[in-house]
Amino acid sequence: MDSFALGYLAQRFVYRIGDFLRHWYVKSVHLYGGWIIDRFQEIDYTLAWRITAKNFFQPLYKDYSVIGYILGFFFRTGRILIASAIYLVLFTAALAVYIFWLLLPPYLVFRALFG
């Protein structure tokens, strides 16, 4: 009877570790990734990178003169570069937070075992 209880406890221990790892690493990818994509969509509403890229070669404010085309090109180029830089910074920060999240359990186990 004692070996049955120990076997059951060992099985539940392994199961709970696997369940924790699945929750921490698999489910968190979906939750955090979805949250980050939602934030980028909200930011794109303000920065309009996608719309600016779509209308890149259109004249600014429907001014079909040479000046309108030239100014449109330069303004849209600047807007795309600034928006791209902002996206890169935000993506790098989000990636750093997620890497911290991934490395936290191994670090805590290492500190618990080796002080």
pLDDT in tens, 30-82: 999 999 999 999 999 988 888 888 888 888 888 888 888 888 889 999 999 99
3-state secondary structure at position 115:
coil
Cα 82 from Cα 6, distance rounded (Å): 61
> Average pLDDT for residues 13-35, to the nearest whole number?
92
Residue from 79, 73, 69 nearest 48 by CA: 79
CA atoms within 13 A on the CB side of 45: 5
Cα 38 from Cα 52, distance rounded (Å): 20
Give pTM, 2 decimals: 0.77
For residues 83 and 52, the answer to whether their CB atoms sit within 8 Å is: yes
Q: Map tokens 């911290």 to a residue.
A: 100
Residues 6+ apart with CB under 8 A from 28: 101
